[in-house]
Structure 1
Amino acid sequence: MERNWTWDNVAAYTEKMMTSLMKPASGKHTVLIVDDNPANLGMLTSYLKECGYKTPIARNGEIAITRAEINQPDIILLDVVMPGIDGFETCRRLKENNATHAIPVIFMTALTGTEDKLKGFEAGGVDYVTKPFQQEEILARVATHLQIRELEQSLREQSAQLEYANSEIRLLNEQLREENLRVSENLKVSEQKYHTLVGELSDGYFVVQDGTVVFANYAFCRMHGYSQENILGEKFSVFVDPESRDDVTDVYQKAREETPKSFLLEYQRLMKDGSSLSTEMTAKTTHYESQVVDIGICRDITERLQMERRVREAERMAYIGRITTSLSHEIRNPLSAIKMNLRILQTARTFTEEDWRHIDIAVNEVTRLEEILDEILDFAKPLRLNMGKCEVNDIVRECLDLLHVKFGQKFLVVTSCLASDIPTIYADRKKISQVCLNLLLNAFEASEIRGKLWVRSTSHSDMDDPSVEFTIEDEGPGIPQEHLQDIFQPFFTTKEEGTGLGLTNTTRILDAHGGWLEAENREPHGAVFRVYLPV
């Protein structure tokens, strides 16, 4: 292609190119809302129309795919749980369709587990909002991802235009060097506008190259308590709590291996004052100027986690409400027995052998009442741990010594096989002793006269997460197969007496330690309970 270049037409051409590059986007944005719940559709439509968005709707995944292909919305709000194909499958089909694969999808869900979030990102979603909806959150997330999409589209367009401009400019001779300097200056202005726009995002946005922060917006600086000049040039690990650094490194390694996927991670960010706060990050790896860079969007989730804790506490208090029914039955019976026996004793001038029997009954019933109340109180009060170094074998031996006399009541044969290479763990010794005693007493109650018990310990150092295991086996009747999952639920019991809180409190203690409990039946009869605690 030949041109007769003069200083005037070079200047006019360059000005035309730069004006085209910097032209802003205009027009209303369209948000396709996909939800089978009319109330949700009405609420979301109201929120978005107030801000000037067009809001077509769809009540299921099939309709959503068709309307997205025809209407080409700027963004899609997609419910996860719907009749027909669910939100995840709908998203996968949208991403497989060349006509709709570039449209950002934000999931709407009441599912807050990490596994469900990861499933959404794997399906191609860019973000999620949790139910019940908050108007400010809906609008902020929609606006954020529309801005990001516009930025990406703008950058692609500018890159294409710049490539064309460079091919034209390369035809110029040495006389056009000064004009190139002016073009470069205009490009810096365009880049500055990009940084300004990203700086207005409400979530923290950052770019890391070779482990060093090369860009961070104002929100990121504010979240960490630093000024921008103190962040740029620093290692990104400086802003991550030491306990979370391996997790952050792993997620970006995975992002490099599976580009262009984005990954969600919850981690602890490190503030300037040394405190750590809960943070959620969307991590992604991309290419910029022929180099691999890590980018991320992070948001503070301290308030959300506090809300989740309050919800869990409310659920726990709802369980406590059911204690009233349990108490009315479990406590009234022993109280009636105590009252009757004491009235009998009131009429006796001297104690006969029968009177002593009544006293024994009263004492036994009071003891049972104390045990019931202890279990209920353990369930009702918040769990607090007093952590320290512990030897699992020592705890098991102490519990066996405490119950030696009780086991003798049934002439039980107890066989212990405790491994000598059990590592020290960090735990609340008293709480772990409570776990061991609860399981040993359950085994005692399930055993017949002259039955057998086995107590074992071992360590698992070859696992991804090293752990210590101790096992308690009996040869009682075992657990009915249909009840194997129910035995850990509050107030569930197959015994004639008891609150059904023993195993519930046991699992609460283990959960607080990062451990878990497994139960199964043994052949030919009996039950096995396995306790796992992290090293």
Structure 2
Amino acid sequence: MQSTPLKDSILIVDDAPNNIRVLVELLTQSGFQVAVACSGEQALERIPEAAPSLILLDILMPGMDGFETCRRLKANPETRDIPIIFMSALTDSVDKVKGLEMGGVDYLTKPIIHAEAIARINVHLSLRHAQRRLIQEEKMVALGQLIAGIAHEINTPLGAIQASISNMTGSLEYTLKQLPVVLQTLSPIQKDSFFALLNQTRQAQVRRSSREDRQLRHILQQQLTEYPFPHAARLADSLSRMGIDFLDPFLPLLKADNAAAILETAYQLSIIQNSSQNIQVAVERATHVVYALKNYVRQSASKMPVYASTIEGIETVLTLHQNQIKHGIEVETSYAPLPQILCYPEELIQVWSNLVSNAIQAMNYQGKLAIATSQQGSHVVVQIADTGQGIPPMVKDRIFEPFFTTKAMGEGTGLGLSIVKNIIDKHHGKIEVESQPGHTIFRVCLPIHPIS
């Protein structure tokens, strides 16, 4: 008999010692790890420790029978995905159908034919491993997209820092030479005007279009010509670069013989000021992204439920998806104060990431993403809405089915929303969807204190 190289663990649930002995010998010889439970109640107790890859479940047992045991296993998000093969001497097709309807994947009739049993077990274990690989691939694809976005989000502030340092270097060389000379030539009134100009420049950092810049230069040049000032065009250019649109406070400077040199020195100082501000903003941005990534990685290691912030998880996802969002998507958030909830934070981050990613793709990276939170009694509610194409009514009821997808071939495994549904079920929550062309809402409701 061919053994499985994966050393899967199989739980035998049967009340007949002879049946247990035969199955243990058969499965052990075939390379499986084996655990045994003599009743449905004992099976439910043993599963957390045994962590079986598959369950062989007898139907006719005293107390809790196989059907009730199966029902309880399928009702528990922790055990619902474990494949169950029923075993029974019953040959009535009604019993077989009932077992399959309750979630069993197959049926073995006693007395069990050894070769058939091993073949069926291997088939269902192979299917389970394939499904897990697909789920992992789905996670890796999502992680790859996040990493690409994160790399861009880190490189952007690093590029800004590099450019700002380059600008500062040139401006520092100029001002270190010129500033002492310029200050020596200024009267007390002109010095006050000079520092007022620097202060106004720091406050006037508003990005203007090329057209707006040309219009400002033209207006300044006209004003300078009216006084009149020599070299009006050159002075207007320097003032516009500093964002100055009102001349009166700076007239004492402009009347100086070396006004052009004074303005150029002020402009170079403004570059240093602006560059230092840009570096500060870029560092804060990079720090925010790194914090979000650390938050994501740290939480991914948690094995037990902990109390965590729902809003922090959503913000982590928005930060990690920023590269996909920022160019064509308007993000609107409306966060009501929420208590922390008992949860698996990394799994909920996967939920928010999947729903946000789906919304972005549904809008083809152009539209409005609206996220709102609220508390309703003992539950928190997260609503994620998009202005995408919508979900066709004929498929809306199937979107949470494993492997179902409306995407083109090769663009998805169809496991994303199925994983989302399983995670929410695990948290004893629920997910709803409303959709029409141009507007889709996913609504997730989670208990603050889940009941085990």
Higher normalized contact order (CA 8 Å, seq sep 6+, divided by chain length): 2
Q: Report the TM range for the smaller structure's normalisation.
A: 0.3 to 0.5
Q: Which has the higher helix share?
A: 2
Which structure is higher in strand share? 1
Normalising by structure 1, we get a TM-score of 0.30
TM-score (norm 2): 0.35
